[in-house]
Amino acid sequence: MTMHMSINPLPNLKVSHLLLFDYPADYHAKGTLPNINIEPPGIEQMYGKLGTPAKEQGHPLIKEAKPEAEDPAVRPFQDQTLDIDRKVLINHTGRLSGSFVRYIANDKCASIVKLYATPVAPATGISLPIDEQKQPLTPQTDAANVWYWRNATDRNELLYTVQAEFKPKDKGFKPEVVYTLVSKWEFWDYSGDRAERMPISGFDEGVTFEIISATQNL
C-alpha cells in the first residue's frame, strides 16, 4: 500500500501540552476551496483521523483558475489536465490543533510552505518550484496565506490555506508531461540565537496532473 502523505503531528506530550498537525478535509479559508478527500476507506480507517477534533485528511486541490466548458463543474472541482497557457490555482489547508497551540501562535514561530512539481512521465528528476510562503504563526483574520483561529475564543485550532496561482509556461513546465504536486510544510522557532526546526511537519505528494499543449474550447 502506498502512502501519499506524511505528517509528524507531535501527539505524545502531556495533555496540557497537546500539539498536533494535520490536513483536515473540510476546513478552508474564506475565498478558497477545501482539500480533496480521495483516500479509499482502508487508508482513511488507518490514517485518516488526525488532529483535535479528529478529521479525515485531504490532499491539495488543483484546477484552472478560470475553468473551461470541459472542466469539472461541481465540487470538488479537481482538474488534473491543465493547459500550459492558462493560470492554475492550488489550495491546500493545514491545521495546528491542541491545547498547546496558543503558546506558539506568535511571531517567534513561523511556517514555511513550499510547493513543487516533479515530472514523473517522462521523468527527468528535476523538480520545478511553484511557490514558497513563509508566515509567522501570529493569528490574523480568516483569509488565504495567513494563519487564523477557527474559533478565537477556544484558541485550539490554528488554520492556514495556501493559495497559489501561476501560469505553467512561466514556471518552466513542458506540455505532454505528467507531474506530481509536492506540498511541503515546515515549522521553525526563531526565539533563540539561531533558528530551530520544530518537531512538527508534513508533506503531501498525493496529486498528479498533466500539462497539455494549448487551450481547447469545446
Residue pLDDT, tens place only, 40-82: 555 556 556 788 998 888 999 999 988 776 666 556 688 899 9
In terms of phi and psi (left: phi > 0; alpha: psi -120 to 50; beta: otherwise), the region of 6 is beta
Quote the CA–CA distance of 86 and 149 in Å, as a whole number: 33
Q: What are the CA-CA distances from residue 151 to residues 30, 39, 142, 144, 209 (Å)?
A: 14, 28, 10, 16, 35
Correct CATH for 5-212 of 3.30.519, 1.10.3470, 2.60.40, 3.40.1000: 2.60.40
Across 2-11, 14-23, 140-149, 205-214, least confident range:
2-11
**Position 26 confidence tier, pLDDT thresholds 50, 70, 90:** confident
C-alpha cell at 130: 511553484
Beta strands 61-64; 88-97: pairing state = antiparallel
* Amino acid found at 182: V
Question: How far from chain centre, in Å, is Cα 78?
Answer: 14
| Alpha helix stretches (DSSP H) within the chain | 41-47, 101-104
| pTM for this prediction | 0.84
Q: What is the average pLDDT value for the chain, to the nearest integer? A: 87
Asked if residue 204 lies in contact with residue 47, where contact means CB atoms within 8 angstroms, the answer is no
More confident residue, 11 or 22: 22
**What is the C-alpha R_g of the chain?**
18
**pLDDT at residue 116, rounded to an integer:** 98
C-alpha cell at 148: 487564523
Residue pLDDT, tens place only, 158-204: 999 999 999 999 999 999 999 999 999 999 999 999 999 998 999 99
Coil/strand/helix, residue 128: strand
**pLDDT at residue 68, rounded to an integer:** 72
Q: Cell 517522462 sits at which residue?
A: 122
- Which phi and psi (to 5°) does residue 103 adopt? -85, -15
Q: Where are the domains of the chain?
A: 5-212
